[in-house]
Structure 1
Amino acid sequence: MTDIKPSLGRFGVFVPQMTPDQAKDIEALGYGAVWVAGSPPAELDWVEPILENTTTLQVATGVVNIWSAEVGLVAESFHRIEKAYPGRFLLGIGVGHPEADQEFRKPVDAVDDYLDKLDEYAVPKGRRVLAAMGPKMLELSASRTAGTHPANTTPEHTAQARQSLGPDAFIAPAHKVVLSTDGEKARAVGRNALDIYLGLKIYLNSLKRLGFTDTDLTKPGSDRLVDALIFHGSAEAVASRLTEHLDAGADHVPVQVLTEPANLVAALAELAGPLGLR
């Protein structure tokens, strides 16, 4: 195991949960990785069935919460998965939110301590990433991990991150999309998905640094905000917007399609051609 920058292909899939059968279909479409969202338990026992049912697809956590996932058990899980499926698992970690985590303390210090323990348990720098948006956390992501996996950001943030972190850091911004040419409908879906984030200081502060105003960020969010964070339109239009992240310096873009789970693979198939995957 080395600290070479992760190679996950240009596009991946970001989902709340993933079945092995869905993963197999997604791999066949040409996506390089699946990022499973939320704060999964430290055992990570859902990872192996996905990897077992695929051959090249990588799996990443988006992200393990440092407050709820005991670091020793996370490290044990990493090594178990790495032994069975070398080079196909990427550990994404994050600090959570003060609104949700009562143990919350200075984020940079808390993450730094967690990374110290991952070092002690020999989880390699090159197989872990940090959910980082602000300057200090981004700096930590480059010095202590392979790089950053932010969410609810824009291609402008990606460009800033690349300029700040240099060419060697791995940057994988997740981005939400709605495949609909009905702008009113797409924005309604987007606002529903963004509602929780417009109550979390970490995201609000990040978006303010990108130039969004209090008016933009007041629920349910301005059209300007929704259009920036939720790419919508035809598959071709959405693919063009997602590619802006790559043009801005991203290595890999996990795509979160806002649709029913039963429609996920069909929506990803619709996007695969315009994204250049097939």
Structure 2
Amino acid sequence: MLGTFGVWGSLYQWGERMDEVADLESLGYGTFWVGSSPPSDLALVEKALDVTRSMTIATGVLNVWQTEPEDVSRSFQRLGSDRVVLGVGVGHRQIDQSYEKPYPKLVSYLDRLDVPADRLLLAALGPKVLQLAADRTAGAHPYLVPVGHTAEARKTLGDKILAPEVTVVVEEDPEAARAIAREQLSYYFSLTNYTNNWLRWGFSPEDVADLGSDRLIDALVAHGSPDQVAAKLRAHVDAGADHVAVQSLNGHYAELAAALGLKR
């Protein structure tokens, strides 16, 4: 359904470039993820479907506080495509004003969402939502997680789909690569669901302070030559991922496709 490798693209960078998704399909990527909380009309999903032939188009992810499940259901049914997968998540306490008790909200959202379970994934980080993903959907789509998280998530999910996003920088100078990563990730250091998850995975408060230690950045962001990045992406597959959604902060998707051995 997803292929082993896909591309995760923020709607802010890709919203006016959906025609380029066809180029990613031609490179051999199996899925394009419309990221950064797309709206319930799924208009960008529809644009990506229109320019591709067989690629899966997924959301990464629909925010339960910013969309109504009935609206999403109507949009999904309007598209009527077996190439659509909906990733759903609970957003962030620091952003979503109505954010409270996220787990019951997520359960209620799923109860009201008229979309087949095999077309749904949850943006799961902690064990409780990972278990909900295993029980109620096709699987999980974690974001900004180390390889260790992938290995543990596989244990919880059983045979369900595990499709982590992995951020990458194609740059052989480690300091330059980390600088690019920190500029992009600075936003996430203010979001407690991410910082708490990193602490859960053995990083210290010092690691998650001041835009992250080198140790944290290196664990979250695959950087190096295309071959080095490809090896780090495969590490998630070896740890149990069925699919890896690649978000490159500086492009080079053709070189990464070649390094990953994708077939055009």
The verdict on a shared fold, with TM-score over 0.5 as the criterion, is yes
Deviation at 1:178, TM superposition (A): 0.4
Query: 5+ unaligned residues in a row in structure 2: which ranges?
Result: none
Q: What is the match of residue 40 of structure 1?
A: 38
Q: What is the match of residue 229 of structure 1?
A: 220
Q: What is the match of residue 135 of structure 1?
A: 127
SS at match of 2:37: coil
Matches within 5 A, 1:165-184: 165-166=157-158, 168-184=159-175
Amino acid at match of 1:66: V
* RMSD (Å), alpha carbons: 1.0
Q: What is the match of residue 15 of structure 1?
A: 9
Deviation at 1:21, TM superposition (A): 2.1
Q: What is the match of residue 188 of structure 2?
A: 197
Whether 2:60 is the aligned partner of 1:75: answer no
Deviation at 1:194, TM superposition (A): 1.3
In 1, Cα distance between equivalents of 2:45 and 2:21: 11
Give CA deviations for 1:66-125 in whole Å, capped at 9, x if unaligned. Answer: 0111111111011111x2x3x10001111001111121111111100000001xx3x100
In 2, Cα distance between equivalents of 1:57 and 1:178: 24
C-alpha contact 1:108 1:140 (8 A) present in aligned 2: no
Matches within 5 A, 1:1-278: 7-17=1-11, 18=14, 19-81=17-79, 83=80, 85=81, 87-118=82-113, 121=114, 123-166=115-158, 168-259=159-250, 264=251, 267-278=252-263
Amino acid at match of 2:167: K
Amino acid at match of 1:199: S
Query: 5+ unaligned residues in a row in structure 1: which ranges?
Result: 1-6
In 1, Cα distance between equivalents of 2:18 and 2:183: 28
Amino acid at match of 1:63: V
C-alpha contact 1:215 1:222 (8 A) present in aligned 2: yes
Give CA deviations for 1:178-236 in whole Å, capped at 9, x if unaligned. Answer: 00001111000011111111111101111111100000000221000011111110000
C-alpha contact 1:129 1:149 (8 A) present in aligned 2: yes
SS at match of 2:207: helix
- The answer to which of 245-254 and 192-201 deviates more is 192-201
C-alpha contact 1:12 1:32 (8 A) present in aligned 2: yes
C-alpha contact 2:172 2:223 (8 A) present in aligned 1: yes
Q: What is the match of residue 4 of structure 1?
A: none
Deviation at 1:54, TM superposition (A): 1.1
Moved over 4 A (4+): none
Percent identical pairs in the alignment equals 48
